[in-house]
Amino acid sequence: MKKIIVTGCNGQLGRAINQLYAGNIDGAVAHSTVSAGEYELVNTDVAELDITDIEAVMKFAREVKPYAIINCAAYTAVDACEEHGDLAYKINAIGARNLAIAASETGAKLMHISTDYVFEGNNRTTPYTEFDEVNPKSMYGATKRAGEDFVKQFADRYFIVRTAWLYGDGKNFAKTMLRLSENHDVISVVNDQVGSPTSASELAKAIQALLPTENYGLFHGTCEGSCSWADFAAEVLRLAGKTTRINPVSTEEYKKMNPNQADRPSYSILDNYMLRLTTDFKFAQWEDAIAEYMQGMQ
């Protein structure tokens, strides 16, 4: 049976990968080895494997001898990354480097998840492809770019998949909007940042499609279509049958209300260009994916 190490298994994507490979798994998935057809998922979170510790990573990889490593672990708190830059670099960059080195030594494939925040997003009117230059505005984006660079430098066989606006089983924007709607008649949401809300289950399907192949390289992986955060919020509330009104505001207005906000790209729509060029895989439309997600929450 082929063993796949999953880091960050308790995050939204880690849970979605477990649900896809091994059927619906409720609750925490750490401390578990899950058989899934020809694969065995070796689930780890920080308690089982500190990816910032090169010796621990090498020891673990040598013991497991994985077919592949799927790196879902990341420091994703965008605002907190500004204050805790060293920790962000340790997890998002050094952690990725350590897994890349371990993958190369053990002959494993590495699936590394990155982000739309590697792009600047200013004065942009067309979706970013994998061939566009990166230029992150935030510490989060900078650390994720460094992680990509380390993967390219140290991994022999790798897939880097950039995603965006991810939601799934865990804390996310959609759930925040639903929670706020319980005691707010109006919610102010930014309307001048646009991107592609992406379901963790859809991203897991793309990972499952790519992993058995030799189709290595850099990919964008987001649901099709795009919207603003305000549009996304309005659709979530509409699907939930809520009467709370969304008040669209500019990033500048929102920052006055929340002054410690990190810079975010105003335009971060990703074109899944490499998937289109090299595979038959296609993500669902974002509206269809969020509808399916909301139905599953009921």
The residues annotated as belonging to the active site are: 140
Distance in angstroms (rounded) separating the CA atoms of residues 238 and 245: 10
27, with CB counted inside 10 A (0-12, 13-18, 19+), is exposed
Cα–Cα distance for residue pair 90/72, rounded to 1 Å: 15
- Are the CB atoms for 37 and 31 separated by under 8 Å? no
- The Cα 264–Cα 257 span in angstroms is 16
Q: How many CB atoms lie within 10 A of CB 243?
A: 7
CB-count burial class (<10 Å; 0-12, 13-18, 19+) for 149: middle
Instruction: Please give the structure tokens belonging to residue 172.
Output: 């996310």
